[in-house]
Structure 1
């Protein structure tokens, strides 16, 4: 059985430093803390968590609410949260809510019953019930990826979604596309509204517009992307390009187009959003917007840690940058 002395020997630090790194990681230099955590991993050391929790009044657990854990984008965000949490001595309790309000509220209640020290919400709803809202103010809370409110009193970590969609619109216009269709997500989602506004910004600046029939709603799943593309195929004419508000819907749309022998990008360009790993391996490889998913997760956990330990927040609203990734699913339109 490993001991704290074995950890200190492996890390090359004193037992007092090991204890401090585990109990109060914010008081230990990052490099030293990483050495200690690596030594803990190698040795298999397990501190007396019950005694630690009892003496500190903390659970050292953090609840992360995710609308769909199978979504590759959210998997990357969770990875970033987990990486940051581990360096700070916290464990992650994952709540796969599937967009269910009752599940969200049940998981959120863990913060009210001392089963968790804080909460990260990756969806667009405030997760506490009306009955719990008065007590919820005392629970450290961070909103990431989606945006619950524009005037939030809690930290928010998000992407410049409007700017990213505008950049994609400008790129598609630069390719010569003038008839662009958009596959959206749920209409009550702030990021969906931002991405739609960004595409409209680009089109309006070019003297163009986005007609109602060219806006088709999906739900961020491949299945809905397939159905949305089928709907576009039934219209009188095919658009020059399709912008999908996430990669999964774009991949579904590509499958529907191929099923009808529509060539990508010869007949139509297709672009997505998120840059999930699989997007680089579709045929053709998918043009998309890269979101720094792991960085979003790390920043969300850092903000939550600051709240849980009543430390000052450098920023309460953090907007991370995007990158346009150009691949083979889009090309310059050749006018006859």
Structure 2
């Protein structure tokens, strides 16, 4: 097996620096880290994490709880988590919870039994059972996109969803729209409240009324988009919406499908917006106007924060807000006169 001395020769650094980079990469410069990791790859070096775990009492693994593993947005976050974890010497254990509390409890308990050193939650729920809640108080845990429910404020990496909701609303109003529908995802999450608050704040500033019955949906599925359009356009309302906010791109896919099935044109008759910028959104017909989230970077940053918690290093801040970009594409346009 290639040893650490070979890696140090290839990287042009000491064996102590190689060891420090592999065990605590945050303690070395980015330039040094890149040199060492490149040398590790060239040499085919495989650190003996098992021996290290016996000495330290750590597993060198982290658990990632995913509410829906087939969601392409979550997969982009996981890519970032995997890369960040690999650089820090952690293996990643994925738990597809399918939104079920029992599955969350089972996967989360791995941290309590020393099978994992920390946990990243991609949903808003507190993942431990009531029986384990007291034991979980000191568990290193970070949430991405969402904020974990409960009195304790766990660190979280998120987007400014309020500002993104405002940006989408300003965009549609600039095209003359004043009758809006919203197809929402999980209504109990902070994401929902922030995006909705952002939309409503702009409508209030512009003097545009929003009827509560124009808010439908309740999950981040393609079927939610189909059902949402059916509800918005089959109701006995004087005039249907000319623009529909979809709270993720999957919902927008279903909404676009149902609008076309009804013979309505996008954006000539109805404008549609999504959220997340999954890869397929740029290739839809028409391409989807959406909000791009830096999902990969969110995943990498979550590992950085989790590693600090595992190593009991102080955090400079517990909330990190990453930038978004509004991508204006063909699914939005001027209101039909």
Cα separation, 2, equivalents of 1:295 and 1:16: 29
Residue in 2 that maps onto 1:198: 198
Higher mean C-alpha displacement, 206-215 vs 39-48: 39-48
> What secondary structure does 2:53 align onto?
helix
Q: Which residues of structure 1 form unaligned runs of 5+?
A: none
Contact 1:64 1:120 in 2 (8 A): yes
Residue in 2 that maps onto 1:142: 142
Residue in 2 that maps onto 1:253: 255
Instruction: Tell me if 1:238 matches 2:240.
Output: yes
Q: Which residues of structure 2 form unaligned runs of 5+?
A: none
When the two chains are superposed, the root-mean-square deviation of aligned CA atoms in Å is 1.7
Compute the TM-score of the two structures, normalised by the length of structure 2.
0.94
Compute the TM-score of the two structures, normalised by the length of structure 1.
0.94
Q: CA deviation at 1:151?
A: 5.7
Residue in 2 that maps onto 1:298: 300
Contact 1:25 1:89 in 2 (8 A): no
Q: Show the 5 A alignment for 1:61-72.
A: 61-72=61-72
Cα separation, 1, equivalents of 2:188 and 2:322: 22
Q: Show the 5 A alignment for 1:76-87.
A: 76-87=76-87
> What secondary structure does 1:137 align onto?
helix
> What secondary structure does 1:219 align onto?
coil
Q: Show the 5 A alignment for 1:256-271.
A: 256-271=258-273
Deviation readout 1:62-120 (Å, 9 max, x if unpaired): 11111112111111111122222222221211111111111111111111111111111
Cα separation, 1, equivalents of 2:18 and 2:315: 26
Task: State the aligned residue count.
Answer: 335
Q: CA deviation at 1:17?
A: 2.5
Residue in 2 that maps onto 1:319: 321
Q: CA deviation at 1:266?
A: 0.6
Cα separation, 1, equivalents of 2:25 and 2:207: 55
Instruction: Tell me if 1:170 matches 2:170.
Output: yes
Contact 1:34 1:87 in 2 (8 A): no
Higher mean C-alpha displacement, 203-212 vs 259-268: 203-212
> What secondary structure does 1:131 align onto?
helix
Contact 2:183 2:225 in 1 (8 A): yes
Q: CA deviation at 1:29?
A: 2.3
Residue in 2 that maps onto 1:7: 7
Contact 1:218 1:228 in 2 (8 A): no
> What secondary structure does 1:275 align onto?
coil
> What secondary structure does 2:6 align onto?
helix
> What secondary structure does 1:65 align onto?
strand
Contact 1:21 1:33 in 2 (8 A): yes
Contact 1:182 1:244 in 2 (8 A): yes
Q: 1:159 to 1:62 in 2, by over 3 A?
A: same
